[in-house]
Structure 1
Amino acid sequence: MNNPLELLNFSGKRRLPVVLQTEMAECGLACLAMVASFHGHEIDLNTLRRQYPISLRGTTLHTLMQTADKMDFACRPLRLELEQLDQLRTPTILHWDMNHFVVLKSVSKNHIVIHDPAQGMRKISITEVSKHFTGVALELIPTPKFQPKNEVRKIPFSTFWQRTVGLKRAMVQVFLLSVGLQLFSLISPQYMQLVVDNVLLSHDVHFLKVLALGFLLLMVIEVGTTSLRSLLVMSFSSMLNIQMATNLFRHLIRLPLPYFEKRHIGDIVSRFGSLGQIEKLLTTGIVQAIVDGMMAIATAAMLFLYAPMLACVVMVALVVYAMIRFAWYRPLKAITEEGIITSAKENTNFMETIRATQSIKIFGKESQRQVLWQNRYADKLNTGIRLGKMKIAFGAINSFLFGIEGIVVVYIAAKLVLGGLMTVGMLFAFMSYKSQFTSKAVALIENMIELKMLGLHLERLGDIALEEPEVLDSGLLDAPKLKGAIRLENLNFRYSENEPLILNNINLTINEGESVAIVGPSGCGKTTLMKVMMGLFKPAEGTVYIDNMDLMKIGIGNFREQVGAVMQNDQLLSGSISENISFFDPQIDHARVEECAKLAVVAHDIAAMPMTYNTLIGDMGMTLSGGQKQRVVLARALYKQPKILFLDEATSHLDVALEQAVNHAVKQLNITRVIIAHRPETIRSADRIFVFTPQGLIEQPKMPMPEQKPVVPA
């Protein structure tokens, strides 16, 4: 239950947050989240996306209004001229660049301030606005039903160490060693005071030797303790890192397919990289913050013990520093988040360019891609420059502040020494304690800032960690052995509740061992239907039955272990051909690999390669032709010895003779086959044919097919 006090705002000023989009097409939802949060309905994108899912096609103004209405907002769509922007009730949503939404925060004579879900807060001149604003705006006004509430879902910080074996013990050990080191630091100023007050004035050389040997021993112990602590931190940080990364990657790889289809790969990599900041804080940050706090209290006590007046000067300087530091937190967080986003965009652009090298060269677009990447890289550097300028400015203020403090402290301390209220040795000790206090107190404040900044990384990780993974296990103790019958009953599917149905009332029965071809124009839903049948997409309504059992009761994991598939965008991974056919089976059955290669009519091609089945291929199979790659992927599907085989344009890159050979070989297996194809030869090879029409999925009478002997390469 949310704390009601969190909803109170004593400042009286409402703040418009910046919410950056995660998926490629959710700028509309991000804008709604910003406006709702401004009016008191705190909600994050993950929660909003779960309640009102959208597709890759994005959000229309009509859909946005429907969603806003469900959130108890009255919508007022407007068409206006640029000069009328100052008449809008802010915050309001603007249509931008014909394919984007932003939130208008404020309007002045020469510029406007917007919160862009893709880039963050931006200050744009009126001239520049005219190039982007389409003239359409949407005002959102809370209705009487609107209730302020907090629906933000956060990852509990304890999530990251709950299951880490030995973490608490290691943290206690590091804490104790750190406390020991700080005790040594507390003792060290006494050496200078004793030497100045007791040795120099009395010329006691023997006492000087005793002091030197004693503090030398302390120094040796301190160095040993420091080394031991460093080794311990390195050990348990590695242990923590591998466990955290493994748990997160395990969760990531089990997320449903739509999650990956809606995100840029660079953004996913960037979010996963946020784990490093959390690991750093867990291993050293928390312990160090506690130790720094204790040390700051101890040294502050020593300062007041030596000279209360001087201690007050030091405290005033520290309070001013803390106020300035925390005042700069919000802009620092905004720039840091913008830096992460721009870096992710640059990484995505770089990876896309490398993957599309062939197309870029064919179309002669090297210079265009260079300029595009250069702009992304410049955006990243510019964000870094802004962050650097902020740090330089703060560093200058910091140096000036503590410089003034040092001058005042020395001035007052010198007067105290001249007045006989303080010895020279005490002055040296005080200055040493002051240095320790300042460094530890500043480090404590910095750790507190880092702890607050950690919320940014937790928010980014939340997009992965808070997403519900696929339920692969049905709970059945014995997974049923499939025979291969498929039945679809009243199946409907849409990408989001506000979009039209892609699949409407589909009813289909496929018998065990039967071959069925599904045909229709591009974009009619053939591949979507196949993905629903494989459990990659969840139907909006209706049920998929396998051998008269609900697919969900069988278990997606159990089902996929017994089916094979060749999809249009299937990829090969870095490794040998043998490893790819077996999908990196730890105990490769080489005889089965060769048999599957023969069935896929690729054995002859592999035999002609210098290293045959040990030939190494890239992560995208770049050493193979399109037809060879398709047949290796087919061999990979057959290696599983599936009861059902799904084929989506699986032979589109083959010539007619090879396609006939592959179809003939697969047909002899007597397994259930679901085929999507456009070629007449492939379609006629099926036992039955179903066609997507405006009236639904209809069976088409099969025309007789002349017998043709397949041509198999010698």
Structure 2
Amino acid sequence: MKKFKWIKQHEQKDCGIACLAMILHHYGSQLPFYRLREMSNSQRDGTSAYGLKTCLESLGFDCLAIEATDEVWTDSEMTYPAIAHVVTESQTLHYVVVYGFDSSELLIADPAHGTYKESIDSFAEKWTNVLLVPKPRADYQEVKEEGSSLRKFIPLLWKSKRSIISITLYSAGIILFSVLTSLYFQVLIDDLIPRHNYRLLALVTLALAVIFLARAAFSWLRQKLLIRFGQNLSKGLLLDYLDHVMKLPLKFFETRQVGDIMSRFLDANRIIDALASISLTLILDILTVVSLSVVLFIYHPLLFSINLMILPFYAWVVYKYYRRFDQAKEEEMASASHLNSEIIQNLSGIETIKALASEESSLKELKIRFNDYMKKSKKAQSLENNQSALKNIIDVCNQVGTLGIGAYFVLQGRLSLGQFISFHALIVYFTEPLKNIINLQLKLQSAQVANERLDEVQLLDEEDQSNEEISLQLREGIIVDQLGFSYSPEEMVLEDISFSIPYG
């Protein structure tokens, strides 16, 4: 059987959209969630079976919508995958994909919980018997429309190129001062103390004080530029988002929760943090690592090579947690969005809540949302803490190994005590930026998830703002015959309306 890809829902009401995405991926197509929402006419409370059916049909499928029995799963004419409508344990309506039948068990892809097997009898207890069975038509063509990546923000970074260059230059100066500070220990231990040269000691110490003052000044100037750089990124991204939201059609606001829209501002802040880290880490930390690699290699090639042995272990830790971080961050952001929506809705409708004396039920729902967010947040933080612990263990082992081997070389006379002390001081400046480069994975994953959520709003078509006047030259009356109108395909607002307006 072809391996079936599970796709997680972005929001609580996105189960139908995620099922569509899984069906399309199975047949070689790919569309972003925001596009599928539009095509299926998704509303605030989710997507109807009719909306899923019309979406699939518009993409080249024949979609059979039936009310079936348990025998359908073993029918020889049954086509997998199919979308089933179920009721969850919390009594909420939900969609899942049934992508196969194996050894009397159904193969389920649940957008909220992943893939699993379940017996027909067990599944029947929650299934509403509503089933959508899509099958590609002869004229079906694969559709590919991938979401954007973080590369789209490069022009935004380019606008701040002067700040980035200035920050880089100040950072290079700080690196140089740090190296000179470390070299002071070697000169002090190997040269000044054995010679008892008090005058030279005073001069070198004075020079060291000047270096410390210069490093402090450079750090202050760099931080000032970093603040300005962060504000420029915030203005560029947040104002663009706000401008785009204000130009979206009314239908967007009717089908989305206010909290969902507001939560994208938090997503934008995550992107800003990642952009600042990426642009500066890739320049500053790589510059630091390369520069200090040369210095450390000159000091002692073997001892430096031993320190590089930690890299495979760091890479393993990053790889081990990569997908788990991705899922945990996505769940945390979605849960935060739901909580924000619930709080805003309750505060906006507080008069109605008070009038109906439903404070307790509203508070109960808020507590459910809050506890869910705390649970998802704890999961993400625990993963980060576990990864950090593994990295610390690797770091401690590396430090102990460096101290032990370095001391052994000193005892053998292959390394002076001053060189060893300076090497150990420099290795700290080397490993920290190296960790920053590796730890960039966390921010990149968080930013990519936030970017996908932001795209669900940013890539929507804006409302037509043209003010073109249309002039009609009417010479006779207006006749309206069997007019129908609806905001959604499921419920007609006007139906079979006929009337005439005589001319003049």
TM-score normalised by structure 1 residue count = 0.60
Q: What's the counterpart of residue 244 of structure 1?
A: 237
Aligned residue runs from structure 1 range 307-322, under 5 A: 307-322=300-315
Give distance in 1, aligned partners of 2:182 and 2:443: 30
- Indicate the RMSD between aligned Cα atoms, in angstroms: 4.0
Q: Does residue 228 in structure 1 map to residue 221 in structure 2?
A: yes
Q: What's the counterpart of residue 373 of structure 2?
A: 380
Q: Does residue 472 in structure 1 map to residue 460 in structure 2?
A: no
SS in 2 for 1:467: coil
Cα distance, 1:29 vs. partner?
A: 2.8
Aligned residue runs from structure 1 range 292-441, under 5 A: 292-441=285-434
Give distance in 2, aligned partners of 1:410 and 1:19: 50
Q: Does residue 254 in structure 1 map to residue 247 in structure 2?
A: yes
Change in CA separation of 1:362 and 1:132 when aligned onto 2, cut-off 3 Å: farther
Aligned residue runs from structure 1 range 161-176, under 5 A: 161-162=155-156, 167-176=160-169
Q: What's the counterpart of residue 52 of structure 2?
A: 64
Q: What's the counterpart of residue 16 of structure 2?
A: 28
Q: What's the counterpart of residue 41 of structure 1?
A: 29
Q: What's the counterpart of residue 128 of structure 2?
A: 134
Give distance in 1, aligned partners of 2:416 and 2:329: 48
Q: Which string of whole-angstrom CA distances, capped at 9 and with x for unpartnered residues, describes residues 378-404 of structure 1?
A: 000001111122122212211222222
Q: What's the counterpart of residue 567 of structure 1?
A: none
SS in 1 for 2:84: strand
Structure 2 contact 167–226 (Cα < 8 Å) conserved: yes
Give distance in 1, aligned partners of 2:240 and 2:219: 31
Change in CA separation of 1:62 and 1:360 when aligned onto 2, cut-off 3 Å: closer
Q: Which has the higher contact order (CA 8 A, sep 6+)?
A: 2
Cα distance, 1:261 vs. partner?
A: 0.6
Q: Tell which deviates more after alignment, 389-398 or 65-74.
A: 65-74
Structure 1 contact 18–34 (Cα < 8 Å) conserved: no
Q: Which string of whole-angstrom CA distances, capped at 9 and with x for unpartnered residues, describes residues 278-337 of structure 1?
A: 223334541233210121122223333223333233222122112211331221121111
Q: Which amino acid is the alignment partner of residue 35 of structure 1?
A: I
Change in CA separation of 1:189 and 1:264 when aligned onto 2, cut-off 3 Å: same
SS in 1 for 2:128: strand
Change in CA separation of 1:353 and 1:449 when aligned onto 2, cut-off 3 Å: closer
SS in 2 for 1:470: coil
Aligned residue runs from structure 1 range 692-703, under 5 A: 695-698=496-499
Give distance in 2, aligned partners of 1:59 and 1:244: 30
Q: Which string of whole-angstrom CA distances, capped at 9 and with x for unpartnered residues, describes residues 129-168 of structure 1?
A: 6764335555656677666663113266445754x89622
Q: Which amino acid is the alignment partner of residue 269 of structure 1?
A: M
Q: Which amino acid is the alignment partner of residue 424 of structure 1?
A: L
Q: Which amino acid is the alignment partner of residue 499 of structure 2?
A: I
Give distance in 2, aligned partners of 1:233 and 1:128: 58
| Equivalent of residue 102 in structure 1, options 96, 105, 115 | 96
Q: Percent identity?
A: 22
Give distance in 1, aligned partners of 2:228 and 2:195: 49
Change in CA separation of 1:54 and 1:283 when aligned onto 2, cut-off 3 Å: closer
Cα distance, 1:54 vs. partner?
A: 4.5
Change in CA separation of 1:84 and 1:315 when aligned onto 2, cut-off 3 Å: farther
| Equivalent of residue 154 in structure 1, options 139, 148, 151 | 148
Q: Which amino acid is the alignment partner of residue 372 of structure 2?
A: D
Aligned residue runs from structure 1 range 491-510, under 5 A: 493-495=485-487, 499=489, 502=492
Cα distance, 1:489 vs. partner?
A: 7.5
Structure 1 contact 82–135 (Cα < 8 Å) conserved: no
SS in 2 for 1:150: coil
Change in CA separation of 1:133 and 1:313 when aligned onto 2, cut-off 3 Å: farther
SS in 2 for 1:421: coil
Give distance in 1, aligned partners of 2:428 and 2:454: 38
Change in CA separation of 1:338 and 1:230 when aligned onto 2, cut-off 3 Å: same
Q: Which amino acid is the alignment partner of residue 144 of structure 2?
A: N
Q: Which amino acid is the alignment partner of residue 192 of structure 1?
A: F
Q: Which amino acid is the alignment partner of residue 219 of structure 1?
A: F
Cα distance, 1:46 vs. partner?
A: 2.3
Q: Which amino acid is the alignment partner of residue 16 of structure 1?
A: W
Q: What's the counterpart of residue 268 of structure 2?
A: 275
Q: Tell which deviates more after alignment, 70-79 or 449-458.
A: 70-79
Q: Which string of whole-angstrom CA distances, capped at 9 and with x for unpartnered residues, describes residues 165-210 of structure 1?
A: 9622222222222222222223321111111111233332222222
Q: What's the counterpart of residue 578 of structure 1?
A: none
Q: What's the counterpart of residue 559 of structure 1?
A: none
Larger helix fraction of residues: 2
Q: What's the counterpart of residue 644 of structure 1?
A: none
Cα distance, 1:480 vs. partner?
A: 9.0
Q: Which amino acid is the alignment partner of residue 444 of structure 2?
A: L
Give distance in 2, aligned partners of 1:279 and 1:202: 54
Cα distance, 1:267 vs. partner?
A: 0.7
Give distance in 1, aligned partners of 2:171 and 2:108: 48
Q: Which string of whole-angstrom CA distances, capped at 9 and with x for unpartnered residues, describes residues 216-237 of structure 1?
A: 1111111111111111221232
Gaps of 5+ in 2: none
Cα distance, 1:457 vs. partner?
A: 1.4
Structure 2 contact 339–369 (Cα < 8 Å) conserved: yes
Structure 1 contact 155–466 (Cα < 8 Å) conserved: no
Q: Which string of whole-angstrom CA distances, capped at 9 and with x for unpartnered residues, describes residues 397-446 of structure 1?
A: 11222222222222222221121111111111221222122111110122
Rg larger for: 1
Change in CA separation of 1:29 and 1:323 when aligned onto 2, cut-off 3 Å: same
Q: Which amino acid is the alignment partner of residue 152 of structure 1?
A: E
Structure 2 contact 42–255 (Cα < 8 Å) conserved: no
Q: What's the counterpart of residue 193 of structure 2?
A: 200
TM-score normalised by structure 2 residue count = 0.83
Q: Does residue 93 in structure 1 map to residue 83 in structure 2?
A: yes
SS in 1 for 2:462: coil
SS in 1 for 2:304: helix
